Amino acid sequence: MKKIVYLIATLWLSSASAGSYDDFFMAIIRDDASAVQALLERGFDANSLDPKGQPAANLAIQRDSARAFEALVAVPSLDVNLLNASGESALMLAAIKGQLGWSERLLQRGARVNQPGWSPLHYAASGPNPRIVELLLARGAAVDARSPNGSTPLMLAARYGSEESVRLLLAHGADAKPRNERDLDAADFARAGGRTALAEQLQQRTR
């Protein structure tokens, strides 16, 4: 009899846990901060990963769930440096989305500015908000960080980011000469993005 009771209790707890898991990530997707907070107060782990390996805070940023993000970032146990399956941190996702306020909150919580491989500065340089590039540089981001394929933040800004981001990177000493594994430099990136005048300016810095 005791074994049956134990089995029922185990199954109930397992079912409740699964329900909480689904509820938690659905609340983030719906940007339901009160539901997120209620689950966290009941002991749900803020560092849980969704079925695709996405940390909760990363998912909130990806879904533009501002209220859920604030509920998560207020939790002392939140590890803001968790990476998703693609090696992306919450700061990287906030940076490429141009979310300055979220980037500042993550930095206040101890988000890493530099990391091996793709860095937050690569993502910020690709994004629409040069203020995040400026913020990361002020926090000591490596201006010539190399990605796994050898690309630098300057290369990404030259093709995908704002020209102000390019100017900020150059003002902080970014080198226009490096080439990535495809033998492309920053001028080539600008040219590929249809930015002929910018490409010429960057080309002059390689002479």
Q: Are residues 14 and 71 in the same domain?
A: yes
Could you tell me what percent of the chain has a pLDDT over 70? 91
Number of independent structural domains in the chain: 2
Q: What is the mean pLDDT of residues 57-68?
A: 98
What's the domain range around 153?
Answer: 85-207
Residues 68 and 5 in one domain: yes
The answer to whether residue 180 scores a pLDDT higher than 80 is yes
Q: Rounded distance, CA 9 to CA 197, Å?
A: 69
For the chain, what is the total number of helices (H) and then of strands (E)? 12, 0
Same domain, 74 and 109: no
- pLDDT-based confidence at 16, cuts 50/70/90? very low
**Taking the chain, what is the end-to-end CA distance rounded to the nearest angstrom?**
84
- pLDDT per residue over 188-207, tens digit each? 999 999 999 999 999 999 98
Percent of the chain at pLDDT above 90?
Answer: 90
Mean pLDDT (the chain) is 92
Same domain? 119 vs 71: no
In contact, 64 and 29? CB cutoff 8 Å:
no
CATH number at residue 25: 1.25.40.20
Domain boundary among 79, 95, 110: 79
**pLDDT single digits (tens) 99-112:** 999 999 999 999 99
Q: What pLDDT is attached to residue 1?
A: 55
Please name every residue paired with 49 in a beta bridge, in sequence order, or none if there are none.
Answer: 55
pLDDT band at 14 (very low <50, low <70, confident <90, very high): very low
60 and 146 together in one domain: no
**pLDDT tens-digit series, residues 131-176:** 999 999 999 999 999 999 999 999 999 999 999 999 999 999 999 9
